[in-house]
Amino acid sequence: MVSILMIFFTGATLIFGGLETRTRAFVFSLLGVLLGASVFTKTAIMLHLFTIREWLLLPWGVKILRIGGKSNEDR
């Protein structure tokens, strides 16, 4: 996950320049958090880190399972 975030940050820095303003740093950090959360969620689904009951305890757990393509038959 760290390598994906480093690639994102390097690419964004090359395309948009450095972190010259606080606004740009804020936008980069938000995009990095969203990217990291999505990579973690997808990896957690692929590696079966949580049971279906545990996924359903999370906010938007049903939507996460639908997007991730996980169903009762997978367990």
**For every one of its 75 residues, what pLDDT tens digit does the chain have, with 9 covering 90 and above?**
678 778 877 887 888 777 778 888 888 889 888 988 888 888 888 888 888 899 889 888 888 888 776 555 444
- Tell the burial category of 75 from Cβ atoms under 10 Å away from its Cβ (0-12, 13-18, 19+): exposed
pLDDT at site 1: 65
Q: How many domains are there within the chain?
A: 1
* Structural domain of 10: 2-74
Q: What is the pLDDT of residue 75?
A: 47
